Each structure stands twice: as structure tokens, then as C-alpha cells.
Chains A and B, each alone.
Chain A
């Protein structure tokens, strides 16, 4: 009936096969062959995803429930624990599926141009395809365990791709940092899964959410702390790791050591949104715990603001975008935290479009500059690389939230939901709005520093050139998506339906906020305020950076921001340093070398010493051996006849 739905595993399997083929056989293949395998597998996967979505809509029209299919039993431990390789499609998965395969495919095309002159071409595409496999597994999974496989897998691919230039020390370090920081989050995620299993005796989404929505499950209000709150917070710890939120965001800016397409695909568009996806997926649990929701909203809001302030002063073009990503992810969590899961996922989608666009444009700039990433070494590029410039400008307008670009709709939906939330909605809204001003500022700062003013690079050495077609075409497609991606919510502006939220309502339920006409006018007002905020950021950036600027010395607040609040140094001093000290001095020197090695060596030494003493018995003198035999015989005789000898010897005395 449904050729793709019945064989849903084909969607993740295709990139896996592509990865295996390229990884094993690709080392001496031509670039065209590698391209064919890599693009073919992701492209086919994209087509399959589209077909699966079409079939799912048919299915849903008939049965009105998510499509879930059990393929094989995977873990059957005892009667309680059966985990199958189950995949599912619902409306949330549809969004993620299309974003991952669609944007992923575009970035694959782009990579064929960007990576053309790099070593390890086949390795790059093998990793990228492997990433696609794990990401698709993550979004298609129907239980927490398969999701966790994908979750760990994308972390692995992130590590491999961040450290792609593994000969470069900083890249190798950044890869390790990404992996280790993620591991901290994953630990929380696992504990969350254990807690869920202990509570609900299952890890299937369907079963867990069904059980959690029973009337007898207590609703935990703000300040109350129960089992659901604990589980949600533990899952959220995992999400903060993967989605780079306070306090585990530190790996993402460093992850920019990877090739730019990787930054676009993994560290902007898809992988880092996995945390948001998990929170949205588990919304049934989160809605039962106001405490957990509050924490999510606060952390998201704080991260949005905190990261935006750091982004204000960075000089590396990719670092600006990295902090921008952290900040935008904060918005998504803010949306989820105030109960607007639809808006959070909406922003996830539009962000995937415009941030992929921005990263790829930045990659195109770096490509044009021959590898230069420092914006202070650029300037005046607008006329030289026109396509890149316009795409970058589109992305900037989109992220800043100007009408009618994507983020105008999605960010406003989040801020609107925050404004209407209780109890601290107004405060969350205010911080979010301020972060929006900062967003607009740092993005236009980036545009001005890069594309306007006098050129600050050495024109004799740098030959600025526009990127090839296979890089610019994906840019243009993404630019188009960044423009139109928010239009699902267009009619809402005129009191109509928000199609995106409507589309997701089978998953999240439709929670109309009462208020009607008054609320609608409030929404329009807030949209206006957001536009003013974006314009404000634009004007300030223009005043500061439109003229020919020189890079001044960093001092005061500027210096604090430029050094990222010294968070890395604080972590180094407070956590990494002591940990290394304990590992080296206690675990290594005392426990390993002292105790374990000491015991092993001590046994060897002792045996040798004993042997050294005992060997003198081996005199070579036959008669002394005879005496030993005699002594032995007497002893054996004595032992055997002890019961007889004993009374005979001592009986008289007693």
C-alpha cells in the first residue's frame, strides 16, 4: 500500500550505504565518482522522504494517528524490557525529515565545490553521509533507545568532522572538546531514560506518553519536584549538551574548526537542533512539570541573550555565526519552555534555512578570500562577490527578523508566546527582545565589516573570486527558502490561520489562547516592536561600522565580551584543571602506578626474592638430597601415624 512507509528504514539506510561505499572504496576514486555516491544517496533519501511524507498524509487522513512500524526486536532482555527497532512518522518528524534531508542535500552539493581542493575528499563525504544516517535515525525513531543511537551517532560524526583537519592541533582539540562536553549531556540523557523506564516500564514514545497523560499522573506545579520533573530535567541536560545551551554551550564555537559546510549542516541546521527536537518530542512529559518548563524557558532565554552579547564583538566571521546559532537555539528553547512547541519547531525550521545560508555564504567568503576568516582582514567585498553578498544579505535580513523574511514570523511567534506566558512572561519577552536587537546588530556588523568599506586585505596576494556554480546555486535556493520559509504563518498576521502550528497540532495539540481580537492586535503590536528592534540594531551597526573603521584595542566591557566572559578559562580552572590534576596525581600516579603497578611488580619481586633464597637448597650434593628425602619420609610417617604417636608420647604426661 505504502511502498516507502512499509520500508521506512530505507530513508536512513541510503546515506549509510553511501557512507560505507565511499569510506571503504573511495580512497582512490575520482571526485566525480565520490560525488555520485554521496549526492546520489542523500538525494535519493530526500526523494524517499518526500514520498514518505505524501504517504503519511494519506495514512493520517485515514487513521488519524502517527505511523509507527516495528521492524525487528532489537533488545529483548527479559519480559519487562523489549526494545524494537521501531520507526515512526508524525507531523513533527515530517518537518525534521524534510529539513534534514533537504538542507542536507543542498549542503552536500555545496560541499562538492567547497571541498574540491581539500585532502581527504572521500573521507569528508563518508562522514557527512554517516551523519545523515544517524540524524535520520534520530528523527525517525519511535523510542528513546533508537533515538539515543542516533543521538550518539551524530555526536560521533560531529567529533570526526570537527577534527577533520586532524593534523591541526586546534582542530583536534576542538573535536575532543565537542565530544567530551556532549558526553556530559548524554550522561544526563541516559539517566533520564533510566528514570523513564523505571517509572513507565517502557521506552516507546507511544507507551510513555500514553502513560504520562493518564489522569492519575500528578501534575507538578512550579516549585514542585517529582519524578517527571526529574526525568524532564535530565533529558534537558542532554539537550543542553547537544544543542549548546548554558552551561554546556562552550563546545559549539570551538567546533567552527571544522570545514564550513560541516558548520552549516551539523553545527547550525540539524544536529544542534536535536535537543530542541527531543524536548518537543517529549512535550507530554514537559507539560506535566511546570518546574521543568520554567527551567527550559529560563535557560533558553539566558542563552539567547548571553551568546548574543558575545557575538557582538567577535572578529572571526564563523565565530559570530556560531554564537548566533547558540543564541537562536536559545530562542527555540524559550519557545518550548513557554509551551509554544510549534513556534519552537517553526523557528528550528526557518533557522535551518537562514543559518545554513549564512554559514554557506560565510564559507563562500572564506573561499573567495583564500581561507581568511578574520573580518578585520576583509572589507569591500560586495562588488567582487555579488552572489555571495546578496545571499548573505538575505540571510542577515532573515535572521534579524525583518518583514517578510523567515525569522520575522518564527521569532515573533516565540516572543509572542513568551509575552503571554505566566508567570514571568514579560521579563522573558523583554530579554528576548533585547537579544533580538543584539542579533540584528551583530549580523549587520558582520555584513558591513565583510562587504563594505575599504578593503583591508593585501590585494596583491588575495585574489577575490566568486565561488563556482555548485556553491552558489545551493546558496540561492537557501536564500529563497530564507525569504519564504516563514510564510506558513503569513495569514496569521491578518487574523488568519498559522498554517505551520496548525500542521503540527496533531502532535502538540491546539492550544488556543483566549482573547480573540484583542490578542490579535497585541500580536500586531509586538510584531511592530520587533521590527523596531531589528531596525534599531541595523542603525546602530550602521553608525558604528559603515564608515571606515579601524580595529581598536579591546578594553573594559568590550574586552570581557571579546574573551567570551572568560567562561572557557573559568571552566579550565574550576573543572578541567582539577580533573586533570586528580587524574594525573591521584588516579595515575597514586592509584595506577602506586597501587596497581605496585601490587603487580611487588608480587613479581617477592617471588623472585623467595626463589633466590630457596635455590640454595639445590646444592647438587646427592647425599643432602637423600637427607631431605629422609626428612620428608619422617614427616609423612609422623603425620600418618600421629594419632598413634600422640598418646604414646604425651599420654603419660597427661
Chain B
């Protein structure tokens, strides 16, 4: 039986990696993947707690997160494709029209 804390540590590491990637990478698809990574880190934590407390709430939440992630992937990839077409680039630093 693997202790819950291992799962949580793994979850934290995954989340940290995702966050670092999100902040430091420039490629928009990589950033997108970093988001997915963070979501799944959270999912892992949910499942771990669910298992630890013997309740199914966490698993239900995971299902919700997966649904939201799927929706987000659909919308997000649509935006990425449009951006790529219009800008001929996937560099986020060039997607800055909203600034002053």
C-alpha cells in the first residue's frame, strides 16, 4: 500500500513542473500542455484524497475536471489555430494586442 503522501508529493511535483513550464515556455502549445499537466496534478490529488478518506467525492470532482479540460482543450486549440493562422507564429510574446 503506497502512502497517500507519496501521491500528494507526486501531485505537487507535477503541478510545480506545469507551473514552471507555464511561466517560462514561449510556445503556446507547450503552455497549453502545461495547463493540462497542472489539471492532472490536481486530479491526482483528488483521487488520492478520495482513496484516503474512502469517499467518492474526489472521484466525482475528477470527472468534472476532465469534462472542463476537454471543453477547454476544444476552445483552446481553436484559439491556438486561429492565432497561428493570423500571426504565423506560436510565440506568446507576440500575442500582446490587449496591452496599452
- Which residues of B lie under 8 Å from residue A618 when comparing CB positions? 98-100
- Contact indicator A621/B23 (Cβ below 8 Å): no
| Complex: chain A residue closest to B25, CB-CB | A623
Q: Does B82 contact A (CB under 8 A)?
A: no
A198 at the interface (CB under 8 A from B): no
- A620's partner among B19, B23, B31, B96 (CB-CB below 8 A) is B96
Determine whether B49 belongs to the interface, using a CB cutoff of 8 Å to chain A.
Answer: no
Point out the residues of chain B lying under 8 angstroms from A621, CB to CB.
92-93, 96, 99
Q: Which of A615, A619, A626 contacts B23 (CB 8 A)?
A: A626
CB within 8 Å of A: which B61-100 residues: 92-93, 95-100
For B92, the chain A residues whose CB sits under 8 A away are 621-623
A622-B100 in contact given A627-B23, A630-B23 (Cβ < 8 Å): no
B46 contacts partner chain A, Cβ-Cβ < 8 Å: no
Majority SS of interface residues in chain A?
Answer: helix
Q: Which residues of A contact B98 (CB under 8 A)?
A: 618, 620
Nearest-CB residue, chain A, relative to B26: A623
Q: How far is the CA of A270 from the CA of B22 in the complex (A)?
A: 92
Measured CA separation A351–B22 after assembly (Å): 101
B52 CB to nearest A CB, Å: 19
Partner of B99, one of A620, A623, A630: A620
* Chain B hits for A626, CB < 8 A: 22-23
Beta-carbon contact of A623 and B96 below 8 Å: no
Q: Once the chains are docked, how many angstroms separate the CA of A621 from the CA of B22?
A: 12
Contact flag A615-B96 (CB < 8 Å), given A626-B23, A627-B23, A630-B23: no
Contacts of B19 in A (CB 8 A): 630
CB-CB under 8 A from B23, the residues of chain A are 623, 626-627, 630
Against B, the Cβ 8 Å flags (1 = close, 0 = not) of A610-649 are: 0000011011111100110010000000000000000000
Min CB–CB distance A441 → chain B (angstroms): 87
Determine whether the beta carbon of B22 is less than 8 Å from that of A620. no
Bound form: Cα–Cα A630–B95 in Å: 21
Nearest residue, chain A, Cβ from B19:
A630
User: How far is it, in angstroms, between the C-alpha of A622 and the C-alpha of B95 when the chains are bound?
Assistant: 8
Q: For the complex formed, measure the closest distance between the CB of B26 and the CB atoms of chain A, giving whole angstroms.
A: 8
List A contacts of B100 (CB < 8 A).
Answer: 615-616, 618, 620
Residues of B within 8 A of A (CB-CB), count: 14
**Which residues on the A side are within 8 Å of B93 (C-beta)?**
621, 623
Nearest CB in chain B: distance from A213 CB, A: 83
Chain B proximity of A175: nearest CB distance (Å): 58
* Chain B 1-26 interface residues, beta-carbon cutoff 8 Å to A: 19, 22-24, 26
Per-residue 0/1 for B18-57: is the Cβ within 8 Å of any A Cβ (1 yes, 0 no)?
A: 0100111010000100000000000000000000000000
CB-nearest residue of chain A to B99: A620
> What chain B residues lie within 8 Å of A616 (beta carbons)?
100
- Residues from chain A with a CB closer than 8 A to the CB of B96 are 619-622
Q: Least Cβ distance of A609 to chain B in Å?
A: 16
In angstroms, Cα B97 to Cα A620, docked, is 7
Minimum Cβ distance to chain B for residue A179 (Å): 57
The interface residues of chain A lying within 8 Å CB-to-CB of B95 are: 622
CA distance A621 to B24 in the complex (A): 12
Q: Which residues of B contact A623 (CB under 8 A)?
A: 22-24, 26, 31, 92-93
Closest-CB distance, B39 to chain A (whole angstroms):
14
The interface residues of chain A lying within 8 Å CB-to-CB of B97 are 620
By a CB distance below 8 angstroms, the chain B residues around A619 are: 96, 99
Q: Which of A615, A618, A622, A630 has the most CB of B within 10 A?
A: A622
Alpha-carbon gap, A619 to B24, bound state (A): 16
CA A618 to CA B31, docked complex, whole Å:
20
Alpha-carbon separation in the docked complex, A126 to B2 (Å): 102
Question: How many angstroms from the CA of A327 to the CA of B48 in the assembled complex?
Answer: 107
Residues of A near B24 (CB, < 8 A) are 623
| Least Cβ–Cβ distance between A475 and chain B, in angstroms | 84
Closest to B92 in A: A622
In the complex, what distance in Å separates the CA atom of A630 from the CA atom of B93? Answer: 19
Kindly state the separation between the CA atoms of A618 and B93 in the bound complex, as whole angstroms. 14
- Report Cα–Cα, A14/B84, bound state, in Å: 86
Give the CA-CA distance A616 to B24 in the complex, in Å.
21
Q: How far is the CB of B21 from chain A (nearest CB, A)?
A: 10
B90 to chain A, nearest CB (A): 12
A51 shortest CB reach to chain B, Å = 84
Alpha-carbon distance A615/B92, docked complex (angstroms) = 20
List the A residue with the shortest CB-CB distance to B28.
A622
Instruction: Considering the complex, give the chain A residue whose CB is closest to the CB of B22.
Output: A626
CA distance A618 to B26 in the complex (A): 19
In the bound complex, CA of A623 to CA of B91 (Å): 11
Within 8 Å CB of B22, what residues of A?
623, 626
- Nearest Cβ on chain A to B14's Cβ, whole angstroms: 16
Residue on A with the closest CB to B34? Answer: A626
User: How far is the CB of B10 from the nearest CB of chain A, in Å?
Assistant: 20
**Cα–Cα, bound, A216→B80 (Å):** 98
Q: Which residues of B contact A627 (CB under 8 A)?
A: 23
Shortest C-beta distance, B53 to chain A (Å), equals 20
CA distance A615 to B100 in the complex (A): 8
Q: A616 CA to B99 CA in the complex, in Å?
A: 9
Residue of A nearest to B98 (CB): A620
A620 to B94, CA, bound (A): 9
CA A107 to CA B93, docked complex, whole Å = 91
In A244-298, the 8 Å CB interface with B consists of none
A184-211 residues at the B interface, CB under 8 angstroms: none
Distance between B81 CB and nearest chain A CB, rounded to angstroms: 17
What's the nearest-Cβ distance from chain B to residue A618, in Å? 6
Chain A residue numbers with a CB within 8 Å of B99 are 618-621
Interface mask (A524-543 → B, CB under 8 Å = 1, otherwise 0): 00000000000000000000
- The CA of A619 and the CA of B92, in the complex, are separated in Å by 12
B93 to chain A, nearest CB (A): 6
Q: What residues on A are CB-neighbors of B26 within 8 Å?
A: 623
| Shortest beta-carbon distance from A619 to chain B in Å | 5
Tell me the bound Cα distance from A387 to B38 in angstroms: 112
Measured CA separation A622–B32 after assembly (Å): 12
Chain A 581-616 near chain B by CB (<8 Å), digits 1 or 0: 000000000000000000000000000000000011
Residues of A in contact with B (beta carbons under 8 Å apart): 615-616, 618-623, 626-627, 630
Can you sample 19 A-B contacts with CB below 8 Å? Answer: A616-B100, A618-B98, A618-B99, A620-B96, A620-B97, A620-B99, A620-B100, A621-B96, A622-B95, A622-B96, A623-B22, A623-B23, A623-B24, A623-B26, A623-B31, A623-B92, A626-B23, A627-B23, A630-B19
Please list the residues of chain B having a beta carbon within 8 angstroms of any beta carbon in chain A: 19, 22-24, 26, 31, 92-93, 95-100
14 additional A-B pairs beyond A623-B22, A630-B23, beta carbons within 8 Å, are A615-B100, A618-B98, A618-B100, A619-B96, A619-B99, A620-B100, A621-B96, A622-B31, A622-B92, A622-B95, A622-B96, A623-B24, A623-B26, A627-B23
Kindly list the 6 A-B residue pairs having the minimum CB-CB distance in the complex, ordered from nearest. A620-B99, A620-B96, A622-B92, A620-B98, A619-B99, A626-B23
